[in-house]
Structure 1
Amino acid sequence: MTAADADAAALPPEARRARCRGLLPGLLAWLAGLVLFLPVAWMVLTSLHSESDAATNPPSVAASLTLDGYRTFFGAGGGTSPWPALINSATAGVTSTVLVLTLALPAAYALSIRPVRKWTDALFFFLSTKMLPVVAGLLPVYLFARDTSLLDNIWLLVVLHTSMNLPVAVWMLQSFLSDIPVSLVEAARLDGARLPAVLGRVVAPLAGPGIAATALICFIFSWNELLFARALTAVTAQTAPVFLTGFITSQGLFLAQVCAASVVISLPVLAGGFAAQDKLVQGLSLGAVK
C-alpha cells in the first residue's frame, strides 16, 4: 500500500465520500474533453490515409499512412496553390480585428468607465444588430458590391467582418473594462492625460487579457466566415474556407483531401489560441467574480 492509499484509508468515511464527490466533476470534464477531441483526432488520422482507405465503411483505422492529401492541398499534384487564399484570410482576419479593437475600445470605455446617458440602451442596440440572420443581408450586400464594382475584393470582406464582429467586441470589452477601478482613470485625467493617453497607457494595460481574448475571438470569427466570402469572392479575394469547399466534388473520392485541408486551415487559429492561452483564460474569467 502506498503512502497516498494509507492517507486515504485513514480519512473518516465522510471525508472519503466528499473526496470521491470532488473527483466526479474532474472525471466528467476529462470525459467531455475526450469526446470533443475525438472528431479532431479522427480528422487528423483520416488526413493521413489514402482516399481509398478513408472511404472504407467502416473506416480502416490501421491503414497505411501517407501525406498525399497534404501534397494535393499544397498543389504538389499540379492543383491550385492555397497560399493566396490563406493570405486573403489572414489579411481579412488581422485587419478587421485591428479595426474592431480600435473602434470597440473607446465605445466600451464610454459604456463602462465613463458611461454616457442611457448606456444600457446603447449596449442593447449593439446586441440587437446580431439578431438579424446573416443570410437576410446577403442580397442587399451583393447588389451593393455589384453596383460599386467591389465583388471579389478582399477589402469589402474586411469591412463586413469588422461590422459583424464589432457588437460582440463592444459587449465583451464593456464587461472587462467595468472591472477597472475608476479612481485610476480619474487620477490619470487629473494629471492631464487626454482620452487617447488614458486608453493607451491606463485602460489597455489593465484590460490586456480581456483585449487579447476579444481579439482572438474576433479573429476566429473572421477566419471561419464562409457565407459572405462564398457569395462575394471568386478568385482574387478567395479565402481559405472557400478554397476548402473546392475539394468537395460530385465525382471521385475527396474525404482525405478535405481532412488534410481542414487540418492546415485550422492551424493558424490553434497556434494563436495556444500562444495566447494564458491571456485568453484570464480574459474570459474577468468579471466572473465580483
Structure 2
Amino acid sequence: MTAVLRRNGLGLLAWLAGIVFFLPIAWMTLTSFHSEQDAATNPPSFTAALTLDGYREFFGTGGGASPWPALVNSLVASAASTLLVLLLALPAAYALSIRRVRKWTDVLFFFLSTKMLPAVAGLLPLYLFAKNAGLLDNIWLLVLLYTSMNLPIAVWMMQSFLAEIPVAVIEAARVDGARLPTILARVVAPIALPGIAATALICFIFSWNELLFARVLTGVVAETAPVFLTGFITSQGLFLAKVCAASLVVSLPVLAAGFAAQDKLVQGLSLGAVK
C-alpha cells in the first residue's frame, strides 16, 4: 500500500512539475494572439479578442523586415555545426571509450575545462580575429564558432554512450577485416544511434538559441533568428504580443526537432542507466 501511494505521489508530482513548466509556454502562446493593447493590460485579460496581428508583424506583411533570411541563417548555422560536431566527436569519443588513449580522463577534463571560460571573456578576441580576417557578418564564422563551442559537450556525451558498446562486436568486425572508418560507420554508429541523436539534438538547440556571439559578430547578411527577435524590443510603444508571436515561431523548429527525435532522445539519455 505504501509503495502504491509513493508511486502515485511521484506521478502527481511529475504532472505538477510538467504543468508548471508548460504554463509559461501556454501564456506566451495566448498572448501572441492578442492585440498589443490587450496584451499590455494588468491584470491580463483571458477573454480578450484573438487576432493574428502579432504574426503579421513578425512575417513583415505590415511593411517590416522579413524574418526568412534570419531563420535560414539560423538553420544553416545550427545544422552545419551540428553535422561537423558529430563527425569530429564520434572518432574522438571512440578513442576515449573503446580504444582508450593514455590519460583519457585528463583529456575529458581538458574538454570540460574549455566550457568554464565565460563566453563574454572570449568575445573581444573573436571580434578582432573576425575583423582582421574579413569574417564579420559571415554565416560560416558562426558555423565554426558553434562547432568549437559544442564539441566538448558532444565528446563528453558520446564517450559515455560508446562506453556501453560491447567490445566483442568491434573485435569481431576487426577480425573480418573492417578498417576504422568502416567500424565507425557500420558498427559503432548504428549501435550508438540513440546517443548520437540525443547529442545532435542538444547541439542543435544550443546553436539555435545562441545570441551573444551572433549579436556581436553579425550584422545584416548573417543575422540569426535570436538576433532578429531582439529587434522587436523597443524603448517606446507596445511590443509584447509581437515578441510573443516571434518567440513562438522561432521556437517551433527546436520543438519540432525534439518531438521528431523524442524516442531516440529518451533512449540516448537513459543509455547505460540500467545495467
Residue of structure 1 aligned with 2:5, choices 16, 20, 26: 20
Pair 1:226 & 2:180 matched: no
Q: Does 1:163 align with 2:148?
A: yes
Shift of 1:288: 1.3
Deviations for 1:50-77, whole angstroms, at most 9, x for unmatched residues? 0000000111111000000001100110
**2:180 partner amino acid:** L
Percent identity over paired residues: 79
Q: What is the distance in 1 between the residues matched to 2:14 and 2:253?
A: 26
- Offset of residue 21 of structure 1: 2.1
After superposition, give the CA deviation of every residue in 1:29-60 in whole Å (9 maximum; x if it has no partner).
00000001000000000000000000001111
User: For each residue in 1:84-126, what CA deviation from the matched residue of structure 2 results, as whole angstroms up to 9, or x when unmatched?
Assistant: 0000000000000000000000000000011011111111111
Matching residue within 90, 101, 104 for 1:116: 101
User: Is 2:43 the partner of 1:70?
Assistant: no
| TM-score, scaled to structure 1 | 0.94
- Match for residue 213 of structure 1 among 169, 191, 198: 198
Give 1:251's aligned residue.
236
1:35 alignment partner AA = V
Runs of 4 or more consecutive aligned structure 1 residues displaced over 6 Å after TM superposition: none
Structure 1 partner of 2:69: 84
Distance 2:93 2:27 in 1: 41
Pick the aligned partner of 1:172 from 134, 150, 157: 157
How big is the shift at 1:168?
Answer: 0.2
In the alignment, the residues of structure 1 paired with residue 262 and residue 21 of structure 2 have an alpha-carbon distance, to the nearest angstrom, of 18
Among 13, 35, 38, the residue aligned to 1:50: 35
**CA-based RMSD:** 0.6
Where in structure 2 are there 5+ consecutive unaligned residues?
none
Q: 1:157, 1:216 → 2: CA distance?
A: 18
Are 2:214 and 1:203 aligned?
Answer: no
C-alpha distance after superposition, 1:244-274 (max 9, x if no partner): 0000001100000000000000000000000
Matches within 5 A, 1:126-165: 126-165=111-150
Q: Alpha-carbon deviations, 1:99-157, whole Å to 9, x = none?
A: 00000000000000110111111111111100101110000000001111110000000
Show structure 1 runs of 5+ residues with no match.
Answer: 1-14
Computing the radius of gyration from Cα coordinates, the structure with the larger value is 1
The C-alpha deviation readout for 1:226-256, integer Å capped at 9, x for no partner, is: 0000000010000000000000001100000
- Tell me which amino acid in the other structure corresponds to 1:138: L
